[in-house]
């Protein structure tokens, strides 16, 4: 084959077979010759191992101190191969891939050769302990094959491409509480890696993907398939694409295969072979991991820092700077974890292994136990033939030369018959045809002369067995194979399901007129079951116990789940209480499972708001189940030291600080849930408006604002832990020093002054913004609140040049008294390309504090008070509604209301604290007569554009943000143009912001107008650069109100911001607009870039263009909230 011994050709995807195998007759030997193929596979493996050992020593592997990599991946199978591909794609990460086997043998690329793998070195060759109800034909010991090579079992399997049912994925999502596992999300991941050319290609639509790495094809040879389809139709069983998702879930399908040009197309061919020349990927073949090295972080937590492995007789250790990823499969992954001290306490102690974590590693083992239904002499016989002589010279030559014809799959004569269809049916225990519980394969075999015999038979396996087994260590010696006990059919219902579907299939074959006309003959009796009534349920039970074997899909020994008592991994694929040397593990890979899920946000057409809502609803259901399981609300009211109402920007910090000492027991009530991980991506912020994470308020009709929406202003607020910091645009913006001094003077409390507040800012900051080098004492470092910069500010240098021309300075507007007037590059709460709100900064790191209790989806409806006499009251608790139940909790020390500018006044008024007259109108008993809900203010603002956008330029500064390179840079590393709010669409990224003074103010230490500058590049076909600006006022004279609509807590309040109630506010905005129009239209800087005047806004055609009356019209039409409500003081 010209690939043996010490020379390996560097081939990519070969031209047919001839360049892959050099001499076609070598392949022909598989079909015609008497070569001992397993022996040839083993010779290849041994020769390759020798070659690898020689090269290893020549390169000095293991000499000197331990090598260090960014990532270490243990196991190069179906998962490990993809991980290695994705993590090395950017070129920035150095990755070590440890594989216990070698490169897959090229003989195994021929699908027909799969049958020879069993007795080769490519098989781990496990065997189970003796089973009492299966594998009777082998004395109860089941063979348990797994692939030992690059590509893992995908390098040796039957190459069937089989998706699970949508409800299977939704079950994962519901069980874990993580919607990223739902079918709605997983579907797009499948499609993104697929290159679908299966039987249903013409009708696939959005159910399949094209152009991905994973080729999905069809076979040329399905003998007798039309007859079987006819019999199914007769029995009312449908056929269609069972890999097509929710469109077809019950019935039979032609089988898609991972076969391309007649060759195996596993994860090695798809993801590893194309990248073997990447210099940042190192692969150690024949490297058997024997221990994950960890170091203690204290408080029972550990982090993985490296791996010790054995290779070519030497034991070595390698270190991971970022993360160790274990992808050794269902047997070797739990074995490695237990050898490393992570597993069931009792078993580890029995083997004298030092325990690091007590987790149910190796428990919950499941597979699809299945049985082939035949007689002692084979399957059902027919009196006709559909097959071909597969040993004819023409047939073999067709395959060798072109990879086509009857031989391009698993069609061969012998003990195994090619599969022509598979199906999902429901047993009597399951009536949900969208979620069948039994799987069937149909096999047809033609025996040429002298038999000239056609046979058909079927095999049945169960999809969701109730029975579970275990994998345990046999000893602490890594070389000892583990103890595998699948415990098949320990639950009788599993066997009954199989029998139910056997009887359905017997009806299809024996009672259909279709097969009767082909002279179908009854199965002969299976000898070991001759003592049972033929074809009775007892007979099938006997056959099942005798002939059932694993169907080679083992799972769940390191299962994901919400709780370490029943799971090894959380839904982000992290082990409970063990981390890598990285705050955000594996870049995006563990957060979103596969980076292409993130890419879907940029390139796909997924309904993102729907995904956010599905996450929200699923999480809510999970939370409700756990709440009931814990018996929440049973017995007397719970008592806490502090109750915080609202887990938003303020509440998150308060929860962090009040629980820090460990002395206070704190309850945090949050009306929403955890923020959707989708919204961690800054770019996704635009999708929040139509999601369940938005309170979705709307104002009463305004006379001088929001004209484009009939006067009703959209008023979004975040409904999740982290509050609006979990959904906002992440701009980090301090007020001016004089604002804080105003608060101090107004309240008479100097703790609110800038001199004091400045230190508070600095303590929580970790500043890495644009002005880091010159920040000095104006910023803080090492605090929880990360302040960073984005990588993409298109056209910012041009704008800065225009500002300089007009005498407007630039600097750090968050730097306090040093710079208060002019423009600044924007600081963002974005870290490594991800949102860094108060949830990420203050809540997520403390979720394991035992003195912090968080009730998500808990809507506070009343603060409970008790009278102290003399008109004074004490808050003693909170009544809230959660999952349909109303409960009360008590506070020993304090109730803290931090529900934001809308929900806080609403809760107070529902509790009898507010304007007496209004409370009496609502029939609410007044406890305190206070101006709650009055003095509402926001920053009303307007984006200055024409009908067709902003100012157009005759040059371009931007980049195509949908280029693969740009997206991959972000997906892999969180960097590049996509690491902020830069996207093409109705919203343009902000490149600078500024404070200016109107004609009503000359105090440059206290500007009264705020400006955002936005720049947008539209790629081909437009090739257009646009710049625009937005103006809002900082200290409006107008104020509005928030009132109750009724005394029903579920009714949204009445919001009236009264924008521009004082007309001076509108004049402030116009002053700011005219300053900015001068910068853009009258500067030589923008003139040399061919700036074009704004076109006229249609709604203001009646006014003199660019006059103050024109701007007043635009303000009334387009002004809206800038989302900073305040002053329910």
Tell me, what CATH number does 536's domain have? 3.30.410.40
- At 40 the pLDDT is 66
Is 1064 part of any domain? Answer: yes
Q: Which uninterrupted H or E stretch holds 859?
A: strand 858-869
625-644 as b/e: b if 16+ CB within 10 A: eebeeeebbeeeebebbbbb
Same domain, 853 and 814: no
The strand ranges marked E within 522-657 are 549-550, 578-579, 639-645
- Residue 175 within a domain: yes
Q: How confident is the model at residue 6 (pLDDT cuts 50, 70, 90)?
A: very low
Bridge partners for 298 per DSSP: 301
Question: What Å distances lie between residue 489 and 370, 429, 773, CA to CA?
Answer: 11, 15, 67
Pairwise CA distance, residues 515 & 672, whole Å: 59
Q: Which of 975, 1010, 1014 is nearest to 991 (CA)?
A: 1014
Report pLDDT digits (tens) over 1085-1111: 999 999 998 899 999 999 999 999 999
Does position 415 have pLDDT exceeding 60, yes or no? no
Kindly state whether residue 284 falls inside one of the protein's structural domains.
Answer: yes
Same domain, 15 and 64: yes
Residue 596 scores a pLDDT above 60? no
How do 1054-1056 and 1040-1043 pair as beta strands? antiparallel
> In the predicted model, is pLDDT for residue 587 greater than 70?
no
Residues in contact with 1052: Cβ distance below 8 Å, sequence separation at least 6, in sequence order: 695, 697, 1045
Alpha-carbon dihedral angle through residues 659, 662, 663, 664, given to the nearest 10 degrees: 30
Mean pLDDT across 156-184: 85
Nearest to 841 by CA among 896, 761, 789, 765: 765
The answer to whether 732 touches 787, Cβ cutoff 8 Å, is: yes
In-domain check, residue 401: yes
Give yes or no for residue 338 having a pLDDT over 80.
Answer: yes
Chain-centre distance of CA 127, in angstroms? 35
What pLDDT does residue 546 have? 94
Tell me if 128 is assigned to some domain: no
What is the rounded CA–CA span in Å between residue 442 and residue 227?
A: 12
Question: Helix, strand or coil for residue 560?
Answer: strand
Return the percentage of the chain with pLDDT > 70, whole number: 85
**Residues sharing a CB contact under 8 Å with residue 954, sequence separation 6 or more, in sequence order:** 1089, 1090
Helix (H) or strand (E) holding 619: helix 608-629
β-pairing, 928-929 vs 913-914, is parallel
Calpha distance 916→1018 (Å, rounded): 55
Q: Worst-scoring range by mean pLDDT, 290-299, 596-605, 656-665?
A: 596-605
Beta bridge partners of 969: none
| Res 32 pLDDT > 50 | no
Q: What is the dihedral of CA 487, 488, 490, 492, to 10 degrees?
A: 170
The pLDDT score that the predictor gives to residue 528 is 94
- Domain assignment of residue 422, yes or no: yes
Q: Is residue 744 part of a domain?
A: no
Same domain as 179, residue 226: no
At residue 805, φ and ψ (nearest 5 deg) are: -60, -35
Distance CA 23, CA 3 (A): 11
Q: Look over the chain and give the mean of its residue pLDDT values, rounded to a whole number.
A: 84
Those residues whose C-beta lies under 8 Å from the C-beta of residue 449, and which sit 6 or more positions away, are: none
Q: How far apart are CA 729 and CA 251, in angstroms?
A: 48
Quick check: 88 and 62 in contact, CB under 8 A?
Answer: no
Q: What does the alpha-carbon distance between residue 642 and residue 894 come to, in Å, rounded to a whole number?
A: 5
Task: Indicate whether 413 and 440 sit together in one domain.
Answer: yes
pLDDT of residue 566 exceeding 80: no
DSSP 490-541: -SHHHHHHHHHHHHHHHHHHHS-HHHHTTT-BPPPPPGGGTTSPTTSHHHHH
Tens digit of each residue's pLDDT (9 = 90 or more) over 355-396: 888 888 989 898 889 999 988 877 888 887 776 666 666 676
Whether residues 247 and 306 share a domain: the answer is: no
Task: Mark whether 820 and 913 lie in a shared domain.
Answer: no
Q: What is the largest CA-CA distance in the chain?
A: 109
Q: Tell me how far apart the alpha carbons of residues 697 and 700 are, in angstroms, rounded to a whole number.
A: 10
8 Å CB contact between 855 and 645: no
Q: How far is CA 445 from the centre of its chain?
A: 43
> Where does 734-809 have alpha helices with state H?
737-747, 754-764, 796-805
The reported pLDDT for the residue numbered 185 is 85
Q: Does residue 388 sit in the same domain as residue 321?
A: no
Tell me the C-alpha distance between 1102 and 1065, whole Å: 23
Shared domain check, 423 and 354: no
Q: Do 394 and 500 lie in a common domain? A: yes
Q: Structural domain tally of the chain?
A: 6
Residue 806 has pLDDT above 80, yes or no: yes
Rounded-to-integer distance, Cα 463 and Cα 424, Å:
9
- Return the pLDDT at 1107: 96
Contact 177, 585 (CB under 8 A): no
Same domain, 981 and 1102: yes
Rg (CA), the chain: 34
CB 799 within 8 A of CB 966: no
Whole-prediction pTM: 0.57
Between these two residues, 890 and 330, which has the higher pLDDT value?
Answer: 890
Q: How far apart are CA 81 and CA 207, in angstroms?
A: 25
Helix H or strand E segment including 890: strand 885-897
The tens digit of pLDDT for each residue in 62-104 reads: 777 788 999 999 999 988 999 999 999 999 999 999 999 998 8
Give yes or no: residues 542 and 670 share one domain. no
Residue 432: count of CB within 10 angstroms of its CB: 12
Cβ 356 vs Cβ 340: under 8 Å: yes
Residue 1100 near residue 907 (C-beta atoms within 8 A):
no
- For residues 789 and 1129, the model is more confident at 789
pLDDT computed for residue 377 by the predictor: 75
Confidence at residue 794, expressed as pLDDT on a 0 to 100 scale: 83
Q: Which residues of 732-754 are buried (b: 16+ CB within 10 A; e: fewer)?
A: bebebbbebbbbbeeeeeeebbb
Q: CA-CA distance, 82 to 88, in Å (whole number)? A: 10
Tokens of residue 732, six digits: 């980090």
Q: Is the peptide bond before 162 cis (omega within 30 degrees of 0)?
A: no
> How far is the C-alpha of 630 from the C-alpha of 565, rounded, in Å?
14
For residues 73 and 287, give the distance between their C-alpha atoms in angstroms, rounded to a whole number: 11
- The CATH number of the domain where 980 resides is what? 3.30.560.10
Look at 1065 and 108; give whichever has higher pLDDT. Answer: 1065
Q: Are 154 and 167 within one domain?
A: no
For residues 718 and 728, the answer to whether their CB atoms sit within 8 Å is yes
pLDDT at 1091: 92
Q: How far apart are CA 833 and CA 591, in angstroms?
A: 13
Spacing of C-alpha 642 from chain mean position = 35
CB-based contacts of 533, cutoff 8 Å, min separation 6: 539
- Among 13, 22, 106, 32, residue whose Cα is nearest residue 395: 32
The SS3 assignment for 74 reads strand
Given a cut of 50, whether residue 989 has pLDDT beyond it is yes
DSSP 3-state of 185: helix
- Phi/psi for 470 (5° steps) reads -145, 155
Query: Does residue 522 form part of some domain?
Result: yes
Helix (H) or strand (E) holding 402: helix 393-402
**Residue 595: pLDDT above 70?**
no
Query: What's the confidence (pLDDT) of residue 1050?
Result: 93
Boundaries of domain holding 383: 220-254+368-468+489-550
Within 664-821, strands assigned E span: 666-669, 697-698, 714-715, 731-732, 765-767, 785-787
């Amino acid at each position: 084959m010209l690939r043996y011994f010490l020379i390996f050709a560097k081939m990519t995807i070969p031209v047919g077979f001839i360049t892959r195998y050099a001499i076609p007759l070598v392949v022909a030997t598989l079909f015609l010759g008497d070569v001992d193929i397993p022996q040839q596979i083993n010779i290849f493996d041994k020769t390759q191992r020798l070659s690898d050992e020689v090269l290893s020593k020549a390169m000095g592997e293991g000499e000197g101190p331990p090598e260090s990599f960014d990532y270490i991946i243990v196991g190069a199978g179906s998962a490990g191969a993809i991980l290695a591909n994705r993590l090395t794609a950017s070129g920035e990460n150095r990755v070590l891939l440890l594989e216990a086997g070698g490169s897959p043998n090229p003989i195994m690329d021929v699908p027909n050769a799969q049958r020879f793998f069993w007795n080769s070195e490519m098989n781990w060759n496990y065997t189970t302990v003796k089973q009492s109800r299966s594998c009777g034909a082998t004395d109860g010991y089941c063979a348990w094959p797994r692939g030992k090579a690059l590509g893992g079992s995908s390098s040796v399997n039957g190459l069937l491409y089989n998706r699970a049912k949508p409800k299977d994925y939704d079950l994962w999502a519901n069980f874990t509480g993580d919607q990223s596992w739902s079918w709605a999300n997983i579907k797009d991941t499948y499609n993104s890696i697929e290159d679908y050319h299966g039987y249903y290609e013409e009708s696939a639509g959005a159910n399949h993907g094209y152009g991905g790495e994973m080729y999905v094809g069809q076979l040329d040879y399905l003998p007798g398939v039309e007859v079987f389809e006819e019999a199914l139709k007769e029995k009312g069983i449908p056929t269609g694409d069972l890999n097509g998702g929710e469109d077809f879930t019950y019935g039979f399908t032609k089988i898609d295969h991972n076969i391309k040009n007649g060759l195996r197309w596993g994860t090695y061919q798809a993801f590893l072979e194309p990248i073997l020349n990447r210099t940042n990927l190192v692969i150690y073949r024949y490297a058997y991991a024997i221990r994950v090295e960890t170091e203690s972080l204290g408080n029972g937590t550990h982090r993985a820092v490296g791996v010790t492995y054995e290779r070519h007789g030497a034991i070595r250790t390698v270190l991971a700077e970022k993360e160790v990823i274990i992808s050794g499969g269902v047997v070797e992954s739990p074995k490695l974890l237990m050898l490393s001290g992570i597993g069931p306490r009792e078993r580890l102690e029995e083997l004298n292994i030092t325990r690091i974590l007590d987790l149910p590693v190796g428990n919950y083992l499941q597979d699809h136990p299945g049985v082939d239904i035949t007689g002692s002499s084979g399957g059902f016989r027919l009196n006709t033939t559909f097959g071909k002589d597969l040993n004819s010279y023409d047939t073999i030559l067709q395959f060798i030369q072109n990879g086509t014809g009857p031989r391009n799959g698993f069609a061969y004569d012998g003990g195994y018959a090619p599969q022509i269809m598979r199906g999902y049916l429901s047993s009597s225990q399951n009536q949900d045809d969208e979620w069948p519980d039994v799987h069937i394969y149909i096999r047809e075999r033609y025996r040429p002369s002298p038999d000239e015999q056609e046979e058909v038979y079927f095999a049945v396996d169960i999809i969701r067995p109730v029975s579970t087994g275990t994998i345990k260590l046999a000893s602490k010696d890594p070389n000892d194979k583990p103890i595998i006990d699948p415990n098949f059919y320990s639950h009788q219902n599993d066997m009954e399901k199989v029998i139910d579907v056997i009887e359905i299939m017997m009806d299809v074959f024996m009672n259909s007129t279709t097969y009767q006309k082909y002279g179908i003959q009854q199965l002969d009796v299976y000898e070991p079951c001759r003592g049972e009534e033929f074809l009775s349920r007892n007979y099938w039970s006997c056959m099942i116990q005798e002939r059932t074997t694993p169907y080679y899909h083992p799972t769940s020994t390191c299962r994901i789940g919400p709780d370490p008592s029943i799971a090894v991994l959380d839904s982000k694929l992290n082990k409970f209480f063990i981390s890598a040397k990285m705050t955000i593990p594996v870049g995006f890979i563990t957060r979103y499972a596969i980076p292409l899920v993130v890419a879907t946000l940029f390139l796909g057409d997924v309904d993102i708001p729907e995904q956010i809502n599905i996450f929200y609803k699923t999480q809510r259901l999970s939370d409700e189940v756990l709440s009931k399981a814990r018996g929440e609300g049973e017995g007397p009211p719970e008592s806490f030291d502090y109750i915080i109402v609202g887990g938003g920007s303020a509440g998150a910090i308060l929860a962090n600080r009040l629980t820090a000492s460990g002395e206070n027991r704190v309850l945090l009530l949050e009306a929403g849930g955890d923020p959707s991980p989708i919204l961690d991506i800054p770019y996704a912020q635009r999708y929040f408006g139509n999601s369940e994470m938005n309170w979705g308020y709307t104002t009463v009709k305004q006379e001088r604002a929001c004209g484009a929406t009939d006067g009703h202003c959209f008023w979004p607020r975040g409904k999740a832990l982290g509050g609006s910091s979990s959904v906002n645009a992440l701009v980090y913006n301090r007020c001016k020093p004089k604002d804080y001094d105003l608060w101090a003077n107004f309240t008479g409390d100097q703790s609110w002054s800038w001199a004091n507040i400045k230190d508070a800012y600095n303590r929580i900051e970790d500043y890495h913004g644009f002005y880091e080098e010159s920040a000095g004492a104006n910023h803080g470092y090492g605090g929880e609140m990360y302040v960073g910069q984005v990588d993409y500010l298109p056209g910012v240098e041009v704008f800065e040049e225009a500002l300089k021309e007009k005498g407007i300075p630039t600097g750090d507007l968050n730097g306090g008294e040093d710079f208060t007037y002019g423009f600044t590059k924007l600081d963002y709460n974005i870290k490594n390309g991800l949102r860094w709100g108060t949830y990420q900064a203050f809540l997520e790191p403390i979720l394991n504090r035992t003195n912090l209790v968080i009730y998500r989806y808990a809507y506070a409806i009343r603060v409970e008070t008790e009278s102290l006499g003399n008109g004074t009251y004490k808050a003693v608790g909170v009544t809230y509604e959660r999952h349909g139940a109303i409960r009360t909790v008590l506070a020993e020390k304090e109730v803290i209301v931090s529900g934001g500018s809308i929900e806080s006044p609403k809760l107070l008024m529902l509790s009898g604290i507010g304007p007496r007259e209004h409370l009496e109108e609502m029939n609410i008993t007044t406890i305190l007569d206070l101006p709650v809900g009055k003095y509402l203010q926001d920053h009303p603002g307007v984006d200055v554009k024409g009908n067709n956008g902003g100012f157009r330029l005759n040059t371009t500064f931007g980049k195509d943000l949908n280029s693969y390179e740009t997206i991959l840079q972000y997906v892999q590393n969180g960097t590049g143009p996509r690491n902020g709010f830069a996207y093409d669409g109705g919203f343009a990224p902000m490149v600078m912001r500024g404070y200016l003074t109107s004609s009503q103010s000359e105090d440059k230490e206290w500007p009264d107008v705020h400006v955002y500058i936005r720049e947008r590049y539209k790629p081909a076909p437009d090739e257009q650069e646009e710049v625009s600006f937005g103006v809002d006022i900082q200290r409006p004279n107008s104020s509005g109100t928030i009132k109750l609509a009724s005394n029903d807590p579920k009714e949204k309040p009445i919001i009236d911001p009264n924008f521009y109630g004082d007309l001076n506010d509108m004049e402030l905005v116009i002053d700011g607009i005219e300053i900015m129009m001068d910068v853009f239209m009258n500067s030589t800087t923008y003139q040399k870039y061919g700036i074009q005047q704004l076109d006229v806004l249609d709604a203001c055609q009646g006014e003199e263009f660019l006059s103050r009356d024109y701007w007043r019209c635009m303000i009334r039409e387009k002004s809206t909230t800038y989302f900073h409500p305040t002053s329910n003081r």
